């Protein structure tokens, strides 16, 4: 009976049992294609990663699955996999091949232990979100203090700016209505100022009612506040997420360029490995 080994990491935290859970199958070469989605559903984290030999200029190729679908890119799976693979390989930088291209992650260490990672994300495209009225109705809010826009860096995220962190914390969205919204995977509601922001992300279309930490949205959030003049380019912002579902997470993001032209997006955070195991499949 074949055994398929996996590692569980908690990402965007330095404390076990917080942050966003991730399962990484470190060698998926012998896993049948038809087993990938059922395994992701069995694990039932917001994402599960399957690792393969590199095909281009990366150290490894990764495929990322939510409980319901495969996605080309996601932030916490990329960062978490960098921690899982970068430790044994003793790398300072690791290049991971994703469906959105090669993502470079720089790893910081204390001795042999990885303590932090910065990933360079794809610069997202941005457009007006045409279903804004339906979105705010599904969220149960009056509107957004900034234009409601959708960003695409391999995943699509729409952003709604609320008046206070307390308003973000009090959200009780209609998940069925959110799942009917067109052309978006993640709905992000945020508030804050300066270098500190609070966000919540809902993705019922991806099988994730609420995400504890969304690395693929952290970069676009930094882009959003820079583009609208709330933060200067090159400023490192701290983003808190996940407290409402008892998985507190801390993400960091910074963008280079200008409000008119974003040139570089980086998202950082910590991760901790909390378990190892194997699946035995007939």
Which residues are part of the catalytic machinery? 47
The HSE-up count of residue 189 (CA atoms within 13 Å, CB side) is 28
Instruction: Give the position of tokens 């059922």.
Output: 38
Counting every residue written for the chain, the total comes to: 282
Alpha-carbon distance 214 to 210, whole Å? 10
Alpha-carbon distance 250 to 267, whole Å? 11
* Phi, psi of 88, deg, nearest 5: -60, -30
Alpha-carbon distance 67 to 90, whole Å? 31
Q: How far is CA 27 from CA 45, 59, 65, 66, 124, in A?
A: 19, 13, 15, 18, 30
Taking only Cα atoms into account, the Rg of the chain, rounded to an integer number of angstroms, comes to 18
User: Which is it for strands 113-121 and 261-269: parallel, antiparallel or unpaired?
Assistant: antiparallel
Other C-beta atoms lying within 10 Å of the C-beta of residue 32? 9
């Amino acid at each position: 009976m074949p055994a398929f080994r996996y590692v569980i990491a908690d990402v965007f935290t330095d404390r076990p049992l917080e942050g966003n859970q991730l399962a990484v199958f470190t060698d998926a070469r012998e896993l049948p294609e038809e087993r990938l989605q059922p395994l992701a559903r069995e694990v039932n984290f917001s994402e599960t990663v399957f690792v393969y030999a590199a095909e281009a200029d990366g150290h490894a190729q990764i495929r990322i699955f939510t409980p319901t679908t495969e996605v080309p890119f996601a932030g916490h799976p990329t960062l978490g996999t960098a921690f899982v693979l970068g430790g044994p390989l003793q790398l300072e930088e690791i290049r991971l091949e994703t469906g959105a291209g090669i993502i470079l992650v720089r790893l910081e260490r204390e001795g042999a232990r990885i303590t932090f990672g910065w990933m360079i994300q794809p610069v997202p495209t941005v457009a007006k979100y045409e279903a804004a009225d339906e979105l705010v109705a599904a969220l149960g809010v009056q509107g957004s203090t900034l234009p409601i826009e959708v960003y695409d860096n391999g995943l699509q995220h729409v952003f709604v700016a609320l008046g206070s962190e307390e308003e973000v914390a009090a959200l009780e969205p209609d998940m069925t209505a959110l799942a009917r919204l067109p052309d978006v995977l993640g709905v992000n509601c945020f508030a804050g100022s300066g270098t500190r922001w609070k966000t919540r992300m809902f993705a019922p279309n991806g099988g994730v009612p609420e995400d504890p930490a969304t690395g693929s949205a952290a970069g676009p959030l930094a882009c959003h506040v820079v583009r609208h003049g709330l933060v200067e380019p090159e400023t490192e912002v701290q983003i808190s997420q996940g407290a409402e579902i008892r998985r507190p997470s801390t993400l960091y993001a910074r963008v280079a360029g200008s409000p008119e032209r974003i040139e570089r997006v980086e998202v950082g955070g910590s991760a901790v490995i909390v378990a190892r195991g194997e699946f035995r499949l007939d």
